[in-house]
């Protein structure tokens, strides 16, 4: 098996990732939308919808070029506004974590990758329990999601370092 990650067309609607390196990137591949299937034609692999082709192809290129390392990166320090266990909680297994994050506004989301900022149209802003925590936006004729992860807006499943802002 090739040590690089290989992106191989599979059907009219899907493609597969194969290669020894896929083992080291299992969680990232899941985050990109891949599903492990040991019974594919041509052997086991990670199957994806063709809707993810551009994103996964870019990610595979970054891996194969050595721009993304498989060693886990240390988690950067997060400035929590507060972390506490509520006295009224019925469970001792819960904590509340608060962050200060930008409230999504305007018609566009601004995503910066490798010092290049892209302005993409917002389709919808979702709120859950009164918190605007999900932004659906259009990227390359596909819908993508930005969500709050560890106190920052991030594109769900996008493993390349990036920042998000709303102007």
Q: What is the pLDDT of residues 74-110, one digit of tens each?
A: 333 334 444 444 445 455 566 666 777 888 988 999 9
The residue among 16, 21, 15, 23 whose CA lies nearest residue 2 is 21
As a whole number of Å, the end-to-end CA separation of the chain is 47
Domain boundary pick from 64, 89, 112: 64
Torsion of CA 28, 32, 33, 39, to 10 degrees: -50
Domain boundary pick from 17, 46, 64: 64
The answer to whether residue 17 sits within a structural domain is yes
CA contacts within 13 A on the Cβ side of 71: 3
Per the structure, the complete domain to which residue 115 belongs is given by 101-165
Task: Tell me the mean pLDDT in the region 46-74.
Answer: 75
Domain boundary pick from 14, 38, 64: 64
The answer to whether residue 156 sits within a structural domain is yes
Q: Considering its fold, how many domains does the chain have in total?
A: 2
Predicted confidence (pLDDT) per residue in 130-153, tens digit: 788 899 999 888 899 999 887 889
Q: How confident is the model at residue 4 (pLDDT cuts 50, 70, 90)?
A: confident
């Amino acid at each position: 098996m090739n040590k690089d990650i290989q992106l191989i067309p599979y059907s009219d609607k899907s493609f597969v990732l194969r290669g020894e390196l896929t083992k080291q990137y299992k969680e990232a591949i899941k985050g990109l939308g891949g599903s492990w299937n040991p019974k594919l034609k041509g052997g086991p692999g990670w199957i994806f919808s063709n809707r993810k082709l551009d994103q996964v192809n870019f990610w595979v290129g970054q891996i194969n070029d050595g721009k993304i390392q498989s060693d886990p990166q240390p988690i950067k320090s997060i400035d929590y506004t507060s972390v506490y266990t509520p006295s009224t909680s019925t469970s001792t297994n819960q904590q509340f974590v608060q962050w200060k994050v930008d409230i999504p506004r305007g018609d566009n989301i601004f995503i910066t990758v490798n010092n290049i900022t892209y302005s993409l149209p917002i389709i919808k802003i979702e709120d859950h329990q009164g918190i605007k925590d999900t932004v659906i936006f259009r990227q390359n004729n596909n819908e993508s999601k930005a969500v709050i992860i560890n106190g920052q807006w991030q594109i769900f499943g996008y493993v390349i370092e990036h920042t998000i802002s709303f102007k």
